[in-house]
Amino acid sequence: MSKHTSATSDEETIQSKPGKPYPLGATYDGEGVNFALFSESSTAAYLCLYDAGDPSREVARIPLTERTELVWHIYLDGLQPGQLYGYRVDGPYDPKAGYFFNPNKLLLDPYARAINEPVTHNDSWLGYDYKNPSDDRYLIMSEEDSGPTMPKSVVVDSSFDWEDDQAPDVPLHRSVIYEMHVKGFTHLHPTLPENIRGTYAGLGSAESIDYLKKLGVTAVELLPVHQFTDESYWGYNSIGFFAPQNTYSSSGMAGQQVTEFKQMIKNLHKAGLEVILDVVYNHTAEGNQFGPMLSFQGIDNRAYYHQVGDKPEYYMDYTGTGNTVNLSHPRVLQMVMDSLRYWVTDMHVDGFRFDLAAALIRTDEEAGRVSSFLDTVAQDPILAQVKLIAEPWDIQSYHVGSFPVRWSEWNGKYRDALRGFWKGDDGKAAETSLRLLGSPDLYSSDGRSPANSVNLITAHDGFTLNDLVSYNEKHNEANGEDNQDGSNDNLSWNCGAEGPTDDPEINALRERQKRNFLTTMLLSQGTPMLVMGDECGRTQHGNNNGYNQDSEISWMNWDWNDKQQALFDFTSQLAALRREMPILSRRKFFTTEQVQFIRPDGHEMTQDDLNNPGTHCIALFIDGLQVTEQTEDGQDIGDEQLVWVLNAFWEDIPFKLPKIGRKQSMWEVVINTFDGQINPETEPTKGGQEFTVPARSSVLLRMK
C-alpha cells in the first residue's frame, strides 16, 4: 500500500492502492472509491479532492501514477459518498495541433454521477488568456487557477430501494408521448408545496401524476436532464452525461439529486407512466476554441471532438453550437454507450430521444474512422429493451426515414404536411394521405412499423399549438436577439389577425384548428407526441424559440379559462378514444383491402384526385372487417368500420357516406371538431346519403 501526500497546505495523508481502469468514473464500494479517467494524449493527471463544507478549498492533489490502456486510475481507502473531486490533466498546450491541456484548470469527471452546484460561467474557467485582446488569444494558455470557482464532481452511493419497480413496457404503437420540461411543468403549480415546484419531486408528485393520467398520455419525454450549463433553459448544452441536472433537485446537490430522480421514476412507473429522456450526445457545453474548459477539452480534446482536418485548432460544427462529439473514437463511443446503459439499469428510464441524431453518425474521415454508433446500439441487449427515437437531422443534413430498423423518428414530414394541409395550402392531399397511414413511404420497406413514425405537430422548438394558429410571424423580441433567432418558416396561419383578438369568428376558428390538429395526430397511425400545454392552449405570445426563457413564456400556466378547460377535456377524450379503438394504433400498415380514400361523391379517390392541387378534403374509409390482428392480450383488434373526413376547405362540403352491403348501413358521429363534441347524441345518417362536413373541420363516423 502506498501513501500519497496532498500538494496543498493541509498535507493530509491519503491511503491509496493502484485501483482498476474499469469501471470509468468514481465507484464507491462501501470501503473506499476507485477513480478511473481515460485520456489518450496526456502526460500526467492529478486527482483533486475538495472540502464539502467549503467547495472552494482543495484539500488534496494526488498525482496519478497508474495508467492502464490509456486510463489513469487509483483507489482511495476510506473515502465516502459526498466527497467532492475533480481532475487536472497535463500535456501539450498546442492548439494548432488540437491539444489544449492546461493543469491550471479543474475538470469535471466525464463519468460524474452528480455535480455539486449549477454550472454557470466564470472567466477563470477559460483555458486561454482571455484578457489578451488579440483574435488568436486562444493560442495563449491561461495560468489562472479555476479550482476555487469550478463546480465539483460528487462521489455518489448508488444504492436505492426500488422495491418492486417494473417498467410499464407500453408497446410503442399504444404509446402517447408528452414532451415536457421538468421545471416548466410544475413551477407555477398552485397546489404543490413551493419547495418542490419545478423539481423531480414535483413531477413525481401525486398531483402531477393525476394530471398526466387524466390527460391520457403513456410516457413523458423530458427535455434534457443531463447536467447542463445555465445559458439554455431547455438544457441542450450538456456537460455531464451521467449526472441529473442539479437545479431540478429539491433535496440538495451533493448526490441527493440522484435519489430524487430515482424516486420520481419509481412514482411514475407505479402509475404506469414511462419516462423517455431527450439526450444530447452530439455536442457539449464547451463550445469552440473560445469556450470554457470544463471537462472534455482539457482531458483530451483530440479524442472527444471532431476537428477540422488540416486545422485541428478548429472544430467541425454540425450542431450549430461550436463543436461535435467524436463518436468515431472508440472510447468516446464507449462513454455514450455507458451513459445510455446507466440511465436504463441504474436510473430505470424507459427510452431516449436523441437530439440532432444525424450528427451522431458523422465520420472522422481525416482519422480514417467511421462512427459505429448505430451498429453498437443495434446489438446492445440493454438498449434492446427501451424506446429509441431519433431527431433525424442536424444543421447540415436531413435523414427522415433513413434510420435503422430498431429506431423510431420524429417525423418532420408529418408535421410539415399536416400544417400545410390544415392551413389550406394547395397540393397537400397526396402527402397527407400517406402521413395519416403511418408514412408507409418512409417506414414500410425496411422492417419498421407505423409506430416508428413519431407524429408531431409541434415541439419545444417552434410555435406552441395555440401560437401556430394565432401568428403568421415569430415574435422573439424577449430573447434579446432582435428577433433574428428562431425559424422563419413555420407553416403557421393566424386565422385572420396577428396575436390575441376580440373577433369571435377568428377565435372560434382558432379553437377549431387546434381541435383539427389534435384530432389528426391522435387518430393517425403512428405514435403521437403532445407538447406540454398544447392540451390547454398554452401560449408563448408568438415566441417560437424559447430556449433561454426561464420565464412565464415557457412555464406551464395552470390558471385556465373555460376555453382552455374545454380543450383539455377534448384532448383527454381523444386519447381515451385512441385507447378504446385499437384499430387506430395498429402494429402493421394497412393494406389496400383494408383502407381506401374516398371523394365527397362517395367514389374512391384516384391518385389524380390526391395529386390535384385543389383537393382540400380527403376521407379515409377503414374497414375493420378486413383486419386480422390481435391486441397484446390476444383479443381481436376490432371490426369497426370508420369514415374519417378531413375538410381543410374554407366551405362546407356535402359528403356522401358509403353504403355497404345489402343491409341498411347507418353512420353515427364519433368526433366532430366543428363544435368539439365527442360521441354526441345526434341522429345517425344512412349510408348513401349526404352528411355535411363543416368548413375547416374533421369528422369521424362509425358504422352503427
pLDDT digits (tens, 9 = 90+) for 86-131: 999 999 999 999 999 999 999 999 999 999 999 999 999 999 999 9
Q: Whose grid coordinates read 452530439?
A: 282
Percent of the chain predicted with pLDDT > 90: 90
Which residues lie below 8 Å from residue 448, measured CB to CB, with a gap of 6+?
405, 407, 408
Distance of CA 4 to the CA centre of its chain: 44
Cβ–Cβ < 8 Å for 96, 139: yes
Which amino acid is it at 514?
K
Q: In this predicted model, which residue has the larger pLDDT, 367 or 7?
A: 367
pLDDT at 353: 97
Distance CA 72, CA 68 (A): 7
- The x, y and z cell numbers of residue 278, run together, are 431527450
- The x, y and z cell numbers of residue 530, run together, are 403532445
Convert the pLDDT of each residue in 656-697 to its tens digit: 999 987 677 899 999 999 999 999 989 999 999 999 999 999
Q: Catalytic: which of 355, 431, 609, 623? A: 355
- Pick the closest to residue 57 from 66, 48, 69, 67 (CA basis): 48
pLDDT at 49 over 70: yes
Distance CA 415, CA 457 (A): 5
pLDDT band at 609 (very low <50, low <70, confident <90, very high): very high
Q: Please state whether 428 falls in left (phi above 0), alpha (psi between -120 and 50) or beta.
A: alpha
Convert the pLDDT of each residue in 555-606 to its tens digit: 999 999 999 999 999 999 999 999 999 999 999 999 999 999 999 999 999 9
pLDDT band at 503 (very low <50, low <70, confident <90, very high): very high
Q: Whose grid coordinates read 477540422?
A: 308
**Helix (H, G, I), strand (E, B), or coil: what is residue 97?**
helix
pLDDT at 322: 95
pLDDT at 549 over 60: yes
Q: What is the mean pLDDT of the chain?
A: 95
pLDDT at 293: 98
pLDDT at 143 over 70: yes
Across 115-203, where does the E strand assignment appear? Answer: 153-154, 177-180
pLDDT at 8 over 60: no
Clarify whether 165 is annotated catalytic: no
- State the CB neighbour count (10 A cutoff) for residue 651: 10
Convert the pLDDT of each residue in 150-180 to its tens digit: 999 999 999 999 999 999 999 999 999 999 9
Distance CA 15, CA 35 (A): 14
**DSSP string spanning 521-540?**
HHHSSSEEEEETTGGGT---
pLDDT band at 48 (very low <50, low <70, confident <90, very high): very high
Compute φ and ψ for 40, nearest 5 degrees.
-75, -40
For range 536-551, the mean pLDDT: 97
- The x, y and z cell numbers of residue 676, run together, are 368539439
Instruction: State the helix-helix crossing angle for 412-423 and 429-436, rounded to 10 degrees.
Output: 130
Convert the pLDDT of each residue in 355-404 to its tens digit: 999 888 877 665 556 578 998 998 999 999 999 999 998 888 899 999 99
For range 229-254, the mean pLDDT: 96
pLDDT at 637: 87
Q: Catalytic: which of 221, 313, 317, 391? A: 391
- The x, y and z cell numbers of residue 8, run together, are 496543498
Cβ–Cβ < 8 Å for 298, 101: yes
pLDDT at 360: 86
Clarify whether 552 is annotated catalytic: no
Cβ–Cβ < 8 Å for 220, 457: no
Which residues lie below 8 Å from residue 641, measured CB to CB, with a gap of 6+?
621, 622, 623, 624, 625, 660, 702, 703
Percent of the chain predicted with pLDDT > 70: 97
The H or E element spanning position 479 is: none
pLDDT at 2: 42
pLDDT at 638: 82
- Pick the closest to residue 128 from 99, 148, 156 (CA basis): 99
pLDDT at 4 over 60: no
Angle at 141 (CA atoms; ends 135, 142), nearest 5 degrees: 100
pLDDT at 11: 43
pLDDT at 136 over 70: yes
Which residues lie below 8 Å from residue 313, measured CB to CB, with a gap of 6+?
95, 96, 97, 98, 138, 139, 289, 307
Cβ–Cβ < 8 Å for 448, 403: no
Distance of CA 581 to the CA centre of its chain: 28
- Pick the closest to residue 223 from 554, 568, 572 (CA basis): 554
pLDDT at 565: 98
Cβ–Cβ < 8 Å for 233, 187: no
